[in-house]
A and B are shown apart, each in its own frame.
Chain A
């Protein structure tokens, strides 16, 4: 346990200031086994790190962790480990009991959705906590983008088609395209309340399109052209308050204001040597993560030449709010914020954006 220094940095402003905040660091070396998890699941925050996964008991301030190899996903009901070749998929409950999942696919979890993405990227299946397939859908094109809220799942395809499915797998919106023009979907983000879906698609011009829920379907309400264009797949995330989307693609970070329909490039400078932040050199890659609340969106920054050199930048309205150097992932919940490092989890109790 100890105090942690967070750096609060103005992105574009010349001045940078740092504040101290009290938080708790829970080391993996002192964590309990996940088999010892309390039967009550309330207040448990699932987390996943580079080689450890588990749950944080926010109320008791305890960490339950388990090492894993290859790859994994976790949610409140358990986790799945899998290998790159997608031939060894193992499903675990929170009791730690596992079984093989007969699938040639990668699992993807978000917002109570458990999805298997088929190895050829041309099909998905929704599974329950026991690994049973609830429904499945095959597409004629590879899936290039995927996001979900509790209510809907949005899927973008190589040919530009966009599917929005409800929890039963029924289509609530479909925009079908073909290759007569390049309209590839490079990224998609669904707001937490399912009210908005933002889509990055097309070339010459490349656009961010916003769809709003209307009755039982969605309608396009705006579009905005993007410069510079890129053909690289993007990660996108909505702020919890639906105000904006952060788009991360390679070393590019963009802020898209949904309501005012404008885009700004974010210039993140963590190069200063003050505030405990070592100078960064070379290329980085950014990945947008799920909003922990309010107008904040975390972004994972990975050094291209050294993937073990990571940081999490929490942006608020696109401005740098907090830097967690060395962090690899972040989980948010009502109880607070869990920032996952290589050797443990930093829990910021009662953190509010």
Chain B
């Protein structure tokens, strides 16, 4: 009951204002990787028990889509709307194919646009060739219409699709996870590491590698960026890792950082995740952790609490005493 209340609270506070009255349902899937996860093939991500040189890999940024593994070679349209763009993998290797593979963009009411990727090329072309509606408003798809995937296109393996949702009124890519009512996530995120890095510096102060009896560190007064390396598993027994949803940092009982992967804002510099400036890689540390914000430490003893939650509210926590002489 408490969890349900928590979910309802999160939905009302974080998502409802963003999604308005959009009738949108994330299609049911057998596996999923969430918004904010690294934009990289899952096989690489699963090797990431140890740190890997994220910053040396071009394209390793938080993803703005949900990756959905379907039980079939198709995926239902998440909402009704008008198809405004179709791309398809070229049928021959000598022609450049755009990386998202077979993709349709659907314009929904209230200025939302969804992108579904991983579609079969021939299906996508057939879809684009469909006669325009009598009103001259383009091809209309209805919620639940099956979009076919075939053997997979772009970076999406067979039966795997990407789903992105753009809020054109507020100029942001929205995390549609709250519109997947069929998901029942019961496991909290795992915090692999948490670090402080002094502003302007590079030295890491590890918050997570301490023995239980030594949960205290000493550091000098100043501003510190907090990096958290954590992942979540949305579908039980999933092989696909996801980013957590929310990062809450309490200093002496007061909330000093409260960021989430509710959306990625469009900025001049690119996409802004977790309140970082664009481009999106600003939200990632060199070791693959998330940059969740900055705290100010002044002289004295401080209780620092790091809470990492998934979108349901399952939470993992890290507590530490910080002494600033």
Contacts and interface: CB of A to CB of B under 8 A. Distances in A.
Interface in B101-153: 101, 103, 105, 107, 111, 113, 115, 122, 125, 128-129, 132, 136-139, 152-153
A118 B39 contact: yes
Contacts of B226: none
B156 to A, nearest CB: 8
> Chain B, interface size: which category?
35 or more
Contacts of A204: 136-138
Contacts of A118: 39, 58-59, 61, 99
Interface in B245-291: 266-267, 269-271, 278-281
B309 to A, nearest CB: 25
Contacts of B85: 144, 158, 184, 186, 231, 233
B93 A250 contact: no
A85 B171 contact: no
A87 B96 contact: no
B99 A328 contact: no
Given A106-B97, A108-B96, A122-B271, A179 B63 contact: no
A86 B155 contact: yes
Given A229-B132, A233-B85, A133 B92 contact: no
B41 A178 contact: no
A180 interface: yes
A119 B39 contact: yes
Describe A's contact surface by its main secondary structure: loop
Interface string A171-183: 0000000111010
A75 to B, nearest CB: 13
B58 A87 contact: no
A133 B168 contact: no
Contacts of B39: 104, 118-120
B88 A102 contact: no
Interface in A26-63: 48-51
Contacts of B98: 106, 117, 121, 143-144, 233
B242 interface: no
A179 B111 contact: yes
A123 interface: yes
Interface residues of A, number: 65
Contacts of A144: 85, 87, 98
A281 interface: no
B278 A138 contact: yes
Given A144-B87, A231-B84, A328 B56 contact: no
A102 B166 contact: no
Interface stretch (A209-217, A261-269, A302-310): A302-310
B59 to A, nearest CB: 3
Given A140-B267, A204-B137, A285-B125, A120 B65 contact: yes
A304 B64 contact: no
B100 A142 contact: yes
B203 interface: no
A230 B92 contact: no
Contact of A87 (B41, B53, B90, B280): B41
A102 B270 contact: no
Interface string A62-79: 000000001111000000
Contacts of A137: 270, 279
Nearest to B104: A231
A310 B93 CA distance: 12
Interface centre among B88, B96, B101, B278 (most CB of A within 10 A): B96
B99 A105 contact: yes
B44 interface: yes
A85 B39 CA distance: 11
A119 B280 CA distance: 14
Contacts of A122: 64, 270-271
A307 B91 contact: yes
B30 to A, nearest CB: 19
Nearest to B272: A140
B95 interface: yes
Contacts of B87: 144, 232-233
B197 interface: no
B59 A116 contact: yes
B58 A105 contact: yes
Nearest to A178: B168
A285 B87 CA distance: 13
B279 A119 contact: no
A138 B39 CA distance: 14
Given A119-B155, A300-B94, 13 more contacts: A51-B93, A70-B93, A105-B99, A118-B59, A118-B99, A123-B270, A125-B58, A138-B271, A158-B85, A179-B166, A179-B168, A180-B168, A250-B128
For the complex of A and B, list the 10 residue pairs with the smallest distance between their C-beta atoms, beginning with the closest: A138-B270, A104-B59, A140-B266, A179-B168, A138-B279, A232-B128, A307-B91, A329-B94, A103-B58, A233-B87
6 contacts: A102-B58, A119-B154, A120-B59, A158-B105, A158-B113, A307-B92
